[in-house]
Amino acid sequence: MIGEHLPVLVVVVPLITALLIPLLTRAWRGTGWGLVSASLAFSAFGAIQLLVEVLRTGVPARYSMGDWPIPAGIEYVVDELNGMVLVMIAVAGTLAALWMHQSVKREVLARARRSYYTVFLLFAAGLMGITITGDVFNLYVFLEIASITSYVLIAMGKRKQALYAGFAYLILGSLGATFILLGIGHLYMATGSLAMLDIAERMANDPALYSSSVVRTSFAFFTVGFAIKMALFPLHAWQPNAYTQAPSGATIFIAATATKVSAYGFYRILFTVFGPRFLLDELPQIKEAILLMCVAAIVVGPLLAIRQKDLKRLLAYSSVGQIGYIMLGVVLWSADQTHLDGATGGLMHFWNHAVAKGALFCVAGALVYKTGAARVADLAGMGRHAPWTSAVMTVAGLSMIGVPLTAGFWSKFYLCTGALEVGRPAAIVVLLVSSLLTAVYVWRLLSLVWFAPKDAEVKVDGEVPWSMRLPALVLGAACLYLFFQPIHLDIARAAAEGFMK
Amino acid sequence: MRTESVVVRYLALRAAPFIQLYALYVLGHGEDGPGGGFQGGVIFSASFVLLALAHGWPFGRQQVNEKVADILAPTGALIFAGIGVLTMLAGGAFLEYGAFAKAGAEDPEAARLAAQHIGLIGIEAGVMITVAASMAILFFEMSRPPRESKGNDA
């Protein structure tokens, strides 16, 4: 019986648990962490089940709320594309929840501690809702849930700057969400529908819609709105502060998933709702503009990361670059729609970046746990005293560069072949330059960790507790596993074929 | 800061229960007319805002038990989600209220409509509880007078 309801349960179980936590923790203090972990583990299990089922049958799983058929009702649809993102969110959420048990006391503002777990879980439910829904307005509702809770999560950090970071993100994030809402409004005005598949059908049946200025305006709003929410260069200003100031447990989760979910939103709106032909036939110049923004992000992100003194900020700037790789998948494909390597690479990077950046932020969190701050200089000599954590950092760092034997290699490989396929060899040069720049800052970290002079003062003088080491090790191992067993290659390929139909 | 006008103070005190009654009326009409849980909840908590404006912040605060409001805010949303879970247990889709209808009813369509009625009122009541409690919490937290003026208020 649970099987048929899984699409709704993966969202509703964390949602209900989030509401139960403030009630239950009144009677039993300290149950919050267990409830968060258990409900996210359930969602992870459900999401994997759904993805396996979709891959086995090749048909999307669809679920109508209240048994109302579209376009009247809200529908949840799981296909290869969002099944992949859903698994990423739920697994990253579970690992981040397991990780943060020890650090909440040290890193979350005392008077916010009671509501921390509720907000964290609502955030997770919001992200999963954005991903799974097949209704554009429902997408906006979940986007608001995820946005508002993420502002709060960031502001819960202990330092005063956390309030500023949260507020700055609130202003920019609300702007982005408003743009997306305006996009939805214009789309509704032009097509009279809110269900994604229904809008797509109406667009396909009425060629006049493509050239209508209302539809184009709607697309412009969507593009800018999602670009702000995913921190695509040059709209990334909110992101480094937010990642730096948020409590480490929240940062792991936000960095591994939040901007990617917005990138997914853009993929979904562009390919499923508007259709790939829209970008190609109607707005080729916009495609070029997005490509330019991606290239700028890919180069500028690591450039800014190199000179950071704070590990969390360094990783945040590296994320600015990495989102560019994901968005390259949106533009590296061609008119005959058989060249899917670019899109495949972009989609694979969802998982590759999630595991690598998740692992790196686990290490940054461990540094904060040990020293109280995330100063890069304090990494000196960590390799001798915390070999596990340092090993995770090494593997994940190499994966960020894209070295073979780590997962990151595959996304760059497919983005390169994709660039060749569509006749844009210049993109390969950009990817190589960015890999070199990434290597510079990763090497800076690794040389401190492993090759610090013997007499250097060692700040990290031991391992963190197992509850923090284990999630980091799982993510680090995933960086290796996904190279040897690229299970996400088939999923990404199937997803790319799905939306290029 | 309570108002000096005795008329305003008296009227606010007498109007509050009627405002709350009206909130329930709006809740009941949400199904087939303008209104519903959200509006009802806002109107309900507006009665506390009125009391706080006319009689001062501390008086308004006293009318809303902090602990009860903290418990009610998530409870209302839980009622909403819980009804969704119940519909699934009854064999329908999430929030398919028709699933509550008795299987062997003489007129299945009428039974389904009646069940939808109950389900809808249920979730609207949940929305109203959450909205009323959250609005009250928000108002009293954000309008809390600064510490130094506390003496003047009481």
Task: List A62's β-bridge partners, or say none.
Answer: A77
Ranges of residues in chain A whose predicted pLDDT is under 70: 1, 335-337
For residue B1, what is the DSSP state? Answer: -
Per the CB < 8 Å rule, is A66 touching B95? yes
User: How far apart are alpha carbons A101 and A31 in whole angstroms?
Assistant: 11
Smallest CA–CA distance, residue A129 to chain B, in Å, is 14
Q: What is the mean pLDDT of residues B13-40?
A: 88
Q: Chain A, 6-45: which have a CB under 8 Å from a chain B CB? A: 8, 12, 15-16, 19-20, 22-23, 26
HSE, side-chain direction, 13 A CA sphere, residue A368: 31
Residue B151 pLDDT greater than 60, yes or no: no
Smallest CA–CA distance, residue B33 to chain A, in Å, is 19
Smallest CA–CA distance, residue B116 to chain A, in Å, is 10
- Please name the residue of chain A whose CA is at the shortest distance from the CA of residue B82: A16
pLDDT tens string B99-129: 887 777 778 788 888 888 888 889 899 999 9
A15 contact residues in B (CB cutoff 8 A): 81
Smallest CA–CA distance, residue B136 to chain A, in Å, is 17
Supply the DSSP string of A98-136, one letter for each residue: HHHTTTHHHHB-GGGHHHHHHHHHHHHHHHHHHHHB-BH
Per the CB < 8 Å rule, is B75 touching A23? yes
Smallest CA–CA distance, residue A4 to chain B, in Å, is 9
HSE, side-chain direction, 13 A CA sphere, residue A338: 1
Cα angle for residues A151, A156, A161 (degrees, 5° grid)? 85
Smallest CA–CA distance, residue B14 to chain A, in Å, is 34
Cα angle for residues A91, A92, A97 (degrees, 5° grid)? 100
- Please name the residue of chain B whose CA is at the shortest distance from the CA of residue A2: B88
**Where are chain B's structural domains?**
6-153
pTM: 0.92
Chosen for mutation from B89, B95, B134 (greatest number of chain A CBs closer than 10 Å) is B95
Region class of A62: left (phi > 0), else alpha (psi between -120 and 50), else beta: beta
* Secondary structure of residue A260 in the 3-state scheme: helix
A175 Cβ partners below 8 Å, 6+ apart? A228
Q: Chain A, 55-114: which have a CB under 8 Å from a chain B CB? A: 63-67
More confident residue, A214 or B30: A214
Per the CB < 8 Å rule, is B94 touching A12? yes
Residue B150 pLDDT greater than 70, yes or no: no
B93 contact residues in A (CB cutoff 8 A): 5, 8, 63-67
pLDDT for position B147? 66
Kindly state whether B68 is in contact with chain A, defined as any CB-CB distance less than 8 angstroms: no
Q: Decide: residue B109, CB within 10 A, 0-12 exposed, 13-18 middle, 19+ buried.
A: exposed
> Which of A5, A20, A23 is nearest residue B94 as measured by Cβ atoms?
A5
pLDDT for position A336? 67
Kindly state whether B85 is in contact with chain A, defined as any CB-CB distance less than 8 angstroms: yes
pLDDT for position B153? 43
Residue indicated by tokens 């969802």: A350
- Please name the residue of chain B whose CA is at the shortest distance from the CA of residue A65: B94
Smallest CA–CA distance, residue A202 to chain B, in Å, is 27
Tokens for B113? Answer: 């409509």
Per the CB < 8 Å rule, is B74 touching A19? yes
Per the CB < 8 Å rule, is A23 touching B74? yes
Kindly state whether B76 is in contact with chain A, defined as any CB-CB distance less than 8 angstroms: no
Residue B154 pLDDT greater than 70, yes or no: no
Kindly state whether B92 is in contact with chain A, defined as any CB-CB distance less than 8 angstroms: yes
B142 Cβ partners below 8 Å, 6+ apart? none
- Backbone φ and ψ for A406, nearest 5 degrees, come out as -125, 160
> Which of A22, A65, A66 is nearest residue B74 as measured by Cβ atoms?
A22
pLDDT tens string B79-107: 999 999 888 888 888 888 888 877 777 78
User: How far apart are alpha carbons A76 and A196 in whole angstroms?
Assistant: 10
Per the CB < 8 Å rule, is B94 touching A63? yes
More confident residue, A129 or B66: A129
> Which of A19, A64, A65 is nearest residue B78 as measured by Cβ atoms?
A19
Q: Decide: residue A149, CB within 10 A, 0-12 exposed, 13-18 middle, 19+ buried.
A: buried
User: How far apart are alpha carbons A262 and A224 in whole angstroms?
Assistant: 11
Smallest CA–CA distance, residue B107 to chain A, in Å, is 20
> Which of B71, B84, B92 is nearest residue A12 as measured by Cβ atoms?
B84
- Backbone φ and ψ for A61, nearest 5 degrees, come out as -85, 130
Q: Chain B, 93-132: which have a CB under 8 Å from a chain A CB? A: 93-98
Q: Chain B, 13-42: which have a CB under 8 Å from a chain A CB? A: none
ipTM of the assembly? 0.86
